[in-house]
Structure 1
Amino acid sequence: MKKILFSALTIALLAGFSSCSDNDDPTGPETPQGEEIVKQGIIEANETWTADNIYVLDGRVVVNEGVTLTIEAGTIIKAEDGQGSNASTLIVDRGGKLIANGTADKPIIFTSVNDDIQVGEKESTLEVEDAGQWGGVIILGNAPISVAAAEGIDYIEGIPGGLSYGEYGGNNPADNSGSLKYVSIRFSGVALEQDAEIQGLTLGGVGSGTTIENIEIYSNKDDGIEWFGGTVNVKNVLIYGQEDDGLDIDQAYSGTIENALVIQTANSGSAFEIDGPEGNAEGSFTIKNVTVNMGNFQGKLIADFRDRAMGHLENIYVYNVNATGSTVNLNDEASVLNFNASKLTFANWEIVLPTGKTIANLLTSKGTTLPTSASFIENVTSVNANAQTVGADVSVFNWTFAKAKNVI
């Protein structure tokens, strides 16, 4: 499908332009609304998507190795409906690049074809409950990951193996997959197969040469953002309406996540889900300057550390914590041992405690070894609401759809 949309006024003006006298007002023709351009399959050569058009992803659209896709500020990308492995998804293969640099005034918006947002607009017509309309954005790189395969390469979850794309991982920590700035990803997260939904943004083996900052994930069926190894640093992230975890780390991700706001809803999972290495290679992330609104929902974990989790979390502010089941959880013996050995560390946490709770009983664990809770207690402070001294700078999210909807 490819069409150019002209208004009736434009046609009338063009038809009558030659009959206008010199004394007529020089109104000129109306600017066209642009094209609706459908994209399918593998992009084999460099191309640019412009803000005067709407681009429609029909199935898996892949930026091939050696190819750069540039998306102008203010561009709207919509995705067709599709279930299972046919879900419409933008995939940047290893060696490909995505240059998607929006601005605060002109963010780049990924959404569903069921969203009536038009060229030049920023607010969607769907609601946060409309998650799972399409796949999401997947970026794959050549940075190290920790998996069982000796070569340190894997297929990203949900994409069938054996295709010419879908592998991620390698030995280049500084690998460059492009640049994403002021990008809003909305209503995504179709399940590709059982227990394999696509995140709003999936980062597989993405290297530190990549720039990712000012990202909004608004309504996703699975996690907000998931890192599968890699070294990319990510700054200024807002996650709202995810139906699993907010920030999810796997396979020895070793970069820094800085200045994030996670807002839980009734369908959300953990604010943080942190898994350790799957192979022999180890890595340690840093998460800092994060605010978490737990929404006062029962049973939502603040953080779930699993499978030899290791890393560092500092300057974390958590509020609206429910007294039932909302804890910082060490979910297996190996994670407890890493915590006790200071491979998993906390610094400068401030939490608005629910009634009847203490800092000590916010730390829970599984396994036979007990965590040395003193190292948690001495790094966590109880504060009153709005009296925090740590957390995210929320003002940087004024450009987001969440701000327009008064979520923040």
Structure 2
Amino acid sequence: MKKLFVSALAVLALGFTSCIEDDDTPIVIEEVTNNYNNNGGDDNDDACIVKSGGIAVNETWTADKCYILDRKVVVQEGVTLTIEPGTIIKGRAGTGSLSSALIVARGGMLIAEGTTSQPIIFTSEADNIAIGETAGTNLDENNIGLWGGIIVLGNATSSLSGDVTEKQIEGIPASDTFGLYGPGDGGAIDDQNSGIIRYVSIRHGGSLLGEGNEINGLTLGGVGSGTTLDHIEVIANKDDGIEFFGGTVSASNLLVWAQGDDGIDIDEAYSGTITNAIVALGVNSDHALEIDGPAGSINGACVIQDLTLIGNGSLNSEYADYRDNAQIASNNIYAYGFGDESDVELDNDGVATNYNSGLISFSDWEIVLPTAVTAVEDIFVNKATTVTVTGFGSEATAVSSGANTVGADASVLSWTFAISTGGISL
């Protein structure tokens, strides 16, 4: 193993700035050869670069190397990290403060633009995937929580509890101020551009930071509409697949498979549009969709459309839970493979009231009925204690398997690991 130490000038450029308070040591770049290949032979020149700490100047990660995230790697304000197509990034195992994650702080930018044949892959260090490959052989959808995940933060409008202007993202300790999202003192930047994430696969993440506090596969806090989120896959994350905390960014062509909690989670008045997505539940999954609303006085509604939801059968995980003042239009949803007890749920009086007033709306749901369910309306359940609703479930139609006219276009997601390996059945 050989270690490459940056020069004194580079140490100053790459060292932590005042926004990174939990570690004031410079970055050490460690090149590891012949450790990350499938045959283990000495003739393999594969090399991995270990990254830890703050990125303070623009840099590019290239596909002829793999990269190891050792604890938190932070793209700081005013800095761009570019990742070439086909690059493999591996997160090192660790919990608590040792959890690994790639974090784009407010004002930073990530340009991670893969292709259908050369996706950018974030995975665990335990994955035996080698440079030039798109899949390893030793991990599957049941290997969860082996590293952290990707977190992107911005200054777009977010409805935060107590009407504060900024908040610490979940999964990052409060002492790490690079974890803040929301407008802050400078006001909302709703069209902010935090970069491009396209043709990116995120696998085996969600390491534990504390009791009940894991990192999502992709966490988006206050991200602006200038950001591009397109063709993103999250597999086997211990917590949620993708979670939106406020912000105005839209996202398209998403696939989440075998997450430990919710597939797509929305909170704090997220007000973008999610188009063409597949959520396939695994043995550890809870809801396909969990929808929360504003936490403060700022209202905001989002749209989700053209989704396919695939259940986990007799495990009876839920289609969707609408909670906490949710405000959303849910259109063109196809669902199948769920259990007899799975439901689409209005969780309380507030969301029942929002449904009655049109702040929550449904259109064109098509559902393959579970064995013991005889009427599609029975899947739609109002759990409010004092507010009644009329017509909830009338927006849905029972269909035979494969006879759907709505849902995701899976053909454009054929590049994903989940579909290309036959991991999920469509």
> In structure 2, what is the equivalent of residue 43 of structure 1?
55
**Offset from partner CA, 1:65-118 (integer Å, 9 cap, x none):** 110000000000011111113200000000000000000000000011101111
**Offset from partner CA, 1:323-346 (integer Å, 9 cap, x none):** 12x000111111111111110000
> In structure 2, what is the equivalent of residue 344 of structure 1?
360
> In structure 1, what is the equivalent of residue 144 of structure 2?
131
TM-superposed CA distance for 1:240, in Å, is: 0.4
SS in 2 for 1:192: strand
CA contact (8 A) 1:33 1:119 kept: no
> In structure 2, what is the equivalent of residue 141 of structure 1?
154
**Offset from partner CA, 1:15-56 (integer Å, 9 cap, x none):** xxxxxxxxxxxxxxxx97343101010111000000000100
Give the one of 166, 179, 204 matched to 1:187. Answer: 204
TM-score normalised according to structure 1 size: 0.91
* Aligned pairs (5 A) from 1:101-112: 101-112=113-124
Deviating more after overlay: 356-365 vs 235-244: 356-365
Q: 1:296 to 1:65 in 2, by over 3 A?
A: same
SS in 2 for 1:336: helix
Letter in 1 for 2:320: A
TM-superposed CA distance for 1:149, in Å, is: 4.0
> In structure 2, what is the equivalent of residue 15 of structure 1?
none
> In structure 2, what is the equivalent of residue 318 of structure 1?
335
TM-superposed CA distance for 1:4, in Å, is: 6.3
Q: For 1:371 and 1:111, how far apart are their aligned partners in 2?
A: 46
Give the one of 124, 127, 133 matched to 1:121. Answer: 133
TM-superposed CA distance for 1:132, in Å, is: 0.3
Give the one of 152, 161, 165 matched to 2:165. Answer: 152
Q: For 1:6 and 1:116, how far apart are their aligned partners in 2?
A: 12
* Aligned pairs (5 A) from 1:283-294: 283-294=300-311
Q: Could you tell me which runs of 5 or more consecutive residues in structure 1 were left unpaired when the two chains were aligned.
A: 8-30
Is 2:222 the counterpart of 1:201?
Answer: no
SS in 1 for 2:285: coil
Q: For 2:262 and 2:157, how far apart are their aligned partners in 1?
A: 23
Letter in 1 for 2:166: I
* Aligned pairs (5 A) from 1:256-295: 256-295=273-312
Deviating more after overlay: 153-162 vs 51-60: 153-162
> In structure 1, what is the equivalent of residue 13 of structure 2?
none
SS in 2 for 1:215: strand
Is 2:254 the counterpart of 1:237?
Answer: yes
**Offset from partner CA, 1:361-385 (integer Å, 9 cap, x none):** 11112232344241x3331111111
CA contact (8 A) 1:198 1:222 kept: yes
CA contact (8 A) 2:168 2:177 kept: no
**Length, aligned pairs only:** 384
SS in 1 for 2:178: coil
TM-superposed CA distance for 1:6, in Å, is: 7.7
RMSD: 1.7
Q: For 2:328 and 2:220, how far apart are their aligned partners in 1?
A: 18
Q: 1:359 to 1:373 in 2, by over 3 A?
A: farther
**Offset from partner CA, 1:220-273 (integer Å, 9 cap, x none):** 001100000001110000100101000000101000000001111121000000
* Aligned pairs (5 A) from 1:370-381: 370-374=387-391, 376-381=392-397
CA contact (8 A) 1:174 1:208 kept: yes
CA contact (8 A) 2:110 2:195 kept: yes
SS in 1 for 2:350: helix
**Offset from partner CA, 1:156-206 (integer Å, 9 cap, x none):** 012111323110011111011000010000000012112211110000000
Give the one of 217, 222, 226 matched to 2:243. Answer: 226
Q: Could you tell me which runs of 5 or more consecutive residues in structure 2 were left unpaired when the two chains were aligned.
A: 4-29, 36-42
CA contact (8 A) 1:208 1:255 kept: yes
State the structure with more CA Rg.
1
> In structure 1, what is the equivalent of residue 11 of structure 2?
none
Is 2:86 the counterpart of 1:83?
Answer: no
> In structure 2, what is the equivalent of residue 329 of structure 1?
345
CA contact (8 A) 1:147 1:154 kept: yes
SS in 1 for 2:378: helix
> In structure 1, what is the equivalent of residue 406 of structure 2?
390
> In structure 1, what is the equivalent of residue 104 of structure 2?
92
TM-superposed CA distance for 1:313, in Å, is: 0.4
Q: For 1:349 and 1:239, how far apart are their aligned partners in 2?
A: 19
CA contact (8 A) 1:336 1:369 kept: no
Q: For 1:128 and 1:298, how far apart are their aligned partners in 2?
A: 16
Is 2:175 the counterpart of 1:162?
Answer: yes
Deviating more after overlay: 311-320 vs 80-89: 80-89
CA contact (8 A) 1:33 1:52 kept: no
